Structure formats: structure tokens, C-alpha cells
Amino acid sequence: MTLTPTATRLLNLGHALDHMALLIFATAVTSIAPEFGFSRWEDLMPYSAGAFLLFGLGSVPAGRLGDLWGRRNMMVVFFFAMSATALLCAAAQNAWQMAAALTLLGAASSIYHPVGIPMLLQHARRPGATIGLNGLVGNLGIALAAILTGFMVKYVGWRMAFVAPALLSLACGLLFLRCSSRETESPAKRTSKARIALPPHLLARLFVVMTFAAVSSSLLFNFTTNGNGQLLRERFTGLVEDPAQLGMLLACVYAVASLAQVVVGQLIDRFALKRLYLGVVLLQIPMFLLAAHAQGWLLFGLQIGFMVAIFGAIPFTDAMIVRYVDDAIRSRVSGMRLAVSFGISSLAVYALGPAVKAAGFSSLLLAMAAIACCTAVFVLMLPGDTRGTETNPAA
């Protein structure tokens, strides 16, 4: 199956929709909490944990169906399911209805990563660059969630922040149906091999270490993307109070940080993956330590710094999968990795509000520095790049 340029653009846009929809609630929680009878946002935040749990666990059946039933078919389901579940979020009338709707949204969003990214990469000659561009678009969705939600909350209410991406996802689904050709065979029947063949014992070690590194990285991703808005509100008190302005500041953080994935994607195609990965992860540690007690504009600069390092680490897992895993099983391998990493890291979303309420953001940022240290240890355990034998550079 060859992707048309329009289908490729829609696959990248789907990544933006995926991240944008999942983070609307975290950005608007301060406005939603009083409407649902909560005096503090920290008490409502745990109700969104189901979305991130299903975002991880749903990746297993999504990846299996992608390989066996077809990635194109699953992407059609993704666009329509995202539209329907975002509308359910907009219609929620209390915390438990919102929790149920967000959980269904998480299940719908779980389709994208194990299906959409392998679909983009199946014929990519420069996978690093492809992953980098896809990551840029996906994380711009996070930026769009911040700015869109900020303005929607201020002018038309938080419910419209869910309605807008729902309508966009519906339009994308209809267009994807028209411009993407049907697959002539399921990915599971393909014979294309991994770019680099590793011995079985090294491949098993790679999967284990890659999964543990992904868990710690996902914890950082969930803590920051769900907590950055509230961190800005707390540390900018007296400087910026307007929700639309805060949304613009947060969008600026994510937009700048997203560029890191394009740079890292280009570097992955040219340099040893392990050393590059380690260097990006090590940048996270001093940023978190310095941010723990920073205020105002200094905090804003450090927030850009640690988000650059967090977003910059994202492409490595997909790069390892395309480098070491046969195309016939990539969706299933990706699904299993996501199920473990995001299933465990959904605890970060559940614990975020209570942790901040009990200990404050300073303690949370110090804890994230410790998590980044764990990630660095896991990366050190990865097999070296020189041990494999390249078998199919264009796979």
C-alpha cells in the first residue's frame, strides 16, 4: 500500500488530534471543577486517569487489529471514534460522566500510535526524519490544546473546546476514507524484515530495556503535559491571570519544544542511537532541578528547557522499533510497549492532583529529576548500535 500525500498529511494530523483531545481536560480543569462542585482542581484531576490507562491498555488490541485486519481500516475507526468520544466529553454533566467519557476517549486515542506511526514508516527511507516530523505535528497538537482551550474557556466555555476537535476529526475521517487506498494484504502477511537484525538474546534485552525506559519517559510526559498549565498558574500569580494569556504561554512552550523532535529525527538517521538518546535524557535532570524553585519568567524558560528534553526523547522508541522489528509485527510490538508504559504512567495523572495538593510543585519537579535519572540508567543498558547487521535499509 502506497500512501498518497493527502493520506500522509492526514496521518500526521491524526497525531495532533490524538494528543490535543487527551489534554483538553487538563488545560480546562480549573474551569470545569467549580461547575462539577469541586472547590479545587486537584480533587477533580484524578477522574481523568481512566483516559490514560485506556490510552495504554487499548494499544494492545489496536496494534493486533492493525497488523491482522489492516492499518488503514483502524485509522478510519480512529478518526470517527475520536469524534464521537470528544462529543461525549462535551456533554458530560458531572465528574463521573466526564470520567466515563474521558475513558472512552482514551480508548479511541489508543489506536493512533501502534497503527498510524507504523503505517507512516512502512515505506520510509529516512525513518528518523519521518518520525521527527510526525512528532512535531503531534506535539503541536498539545500546543493547540493549550491555546484553543484557553480561548474557548474565556469566550465560549470549556465544552466547545471538545466540540471543535470532534468536528475536525469527523472531517478528517471522511477525507481519509476517500484519499487512502485499501490495503491489498494485512501487514501480518508482509515479508519485509527489520533494518538491522539482532541475535535473539539481544532483541529480548532491547525490548525489556526499551519498555522500562518508555515507562519512565511516559511518567515524565504525563506529569508535565497534565500539570504544566497549573504550574504556570501557580508560578505566574500576579504576572499573568487571564486564561487565554496563560494558554498562549503554554502553547509557546509546547511549540518551541516540538521543534526538538524534528532535530532529533534528523540526528537519528546520522548518529549512533544509544549515545544520542542518553544525551537528550541527561538534559532533563538539571532542568527539573532548577525549575523546582524557579518563579515567573525564569520558570517559563526552564519549562521550555525540560519540555525540549522530554519531547526530544520521544522519537527514540519508534526509531528502535522500525530499526529492529519486522514490519509484519510492528503494530503489535508498539501496542505492547504502549500498554505497559502508558498503563503504568496513567498513575501519574491519578496522582498529580493529590501530590501537588500534599507536597507542592517543587517536590514534584524534584521527583521528576529522579525519574529522569532512572531513564538514563535504562538507556545505558541498551545494546550498542554496532552489534546488529543491516539487512534492509529501505524497510
Give SS3 for 355.
helix
Confidence check: pLDDT of 333 > 70: yes
Confidence check: pLDDT of 233 > 50: yes
Average pLDDT over residues 194-219: 82
Q: pLDDT at position 225, please? A: 85
Answer yes or no: are the C-beta atoms of 72 and 173 closer than 8 Å.
Answer: no
In the numeric block, which cell numbers belong to residue 351? 496522582
Q: pLDDT at position 106, please? A: 94
Weakest-pLDDT range from 182-196, 202-216, 328-342, 349-363: 182-196
Average pLDDT over residues 25-37: 91
> 5-390 maps to which CATH number?
1.20.1250.20
Confidence check: pLDDT of 194 > 70: no
Rounded to whole angstroms, what are the CA distances from 198 to 267, 319, 380, 382, 383? 22, 15, 18, 12, 9
Confidence check: pLDDT of 387 > 70: no
Domain boundaries, the chain: 5-390
Q: pLDDT at position 393, please? A: 45
Q: pLDDT at position 394, please? A: 43
Average pLDDT over residues 19-43: 90
Q: Could you tell me the sign of the dihedral formed by the alpha carbons of 363, 26, 348, 15, in that order?
A: negative
Answer yes or no: are the C-beta atoms of 246 and 235 closer than 8 Å.
Answer: no
Residue 171: which pLDDT band, with cuts at 50, 70 and 90?
very high
Residue 193: which pLDDT band, with cuts at 50, 70 and 90?
low
Q: pLDDT at position 191, please? A: 57
- 34: which residues sit within 8 A by CB, 6+ positions away? none
In the numeric block, which cell numbers belong to residue 254? 509546547
Weakest-pLDDT range from 114-118, 183-187, 226-230, 260-264: 183-187
Q: What are phi and psi of 389, to 5 degrees?
A: -115, 120
Weakest-pLDDT range from 78-92, 191-205, 250-264: 191-205
Q: pLDDT at position 385, please? A: 61
Kindly state the percentage of the chain with pLDDT values over 70: 93
User: Helix 273-291 crosses helix 296-313 at what angle (to 10 degrees)?
Assistant: 160
Confidence check: pLDDT of 318 > 90: no
Q: Where are the beta strands (DSSP E) in the chain?
A: 196-197, 389-390
Residue 241: which pLDDT band, with cuts at 50, 70 and 90?
low
Q: What are phi and psi of 118, to 5 degrees?
A: -60, -35
Average pLDDT over residues 240-260: 83
DSSP 390: E
Tell which phi-psi region holds residue 157, choosing left (phi > 0), alpha (psi between -120 and 50) or beta.
Answer: left
DSSP 328: G
Weakest-pLDDT range from 162-171, 244-253, 372-381, 383-392: 383-392
Confidence check: pLDDT of 52 > 70: yes
Give the separation between CA 366 and CA 284, rounded to whole angstroms: 11
Residue 190: which pLDDT band, with cuts at 50, 70 and 90?
low
Confidence check: pLDDT of 366 > 90: yes
Q: pLDDT at position 247, please? A: 80
Average pLDDT over the chain, rounded to whole? 87
**Predicted model pTM:** 0.80
Residue 239: which pLDDT band, with cuts at 50, 70 and 90?
low
Q: What is the pLDDT of residues 263-297, one digit of tens each?
A: 998 998 888 889 999 999 999 999 999 999 999 89
- 370: which residues sit within 8 A by CB, 6+ positions away? none
Rounded to whole angstroms, what are the CA distances from 152 to 18, 94, 212, 226, 229? 19, 20, 38, 18, 15
DSSP 183: P
Residue 18: which pLDDT band, with cuts at 50, 70 and 90?
very high
Q: What is the pLDDT of residues 128-162, one digit of tens each?
A: 888 889 888 988 888 888 888 888 888 899 999 99
Confidence check: pLDDT of 2 > 80: no
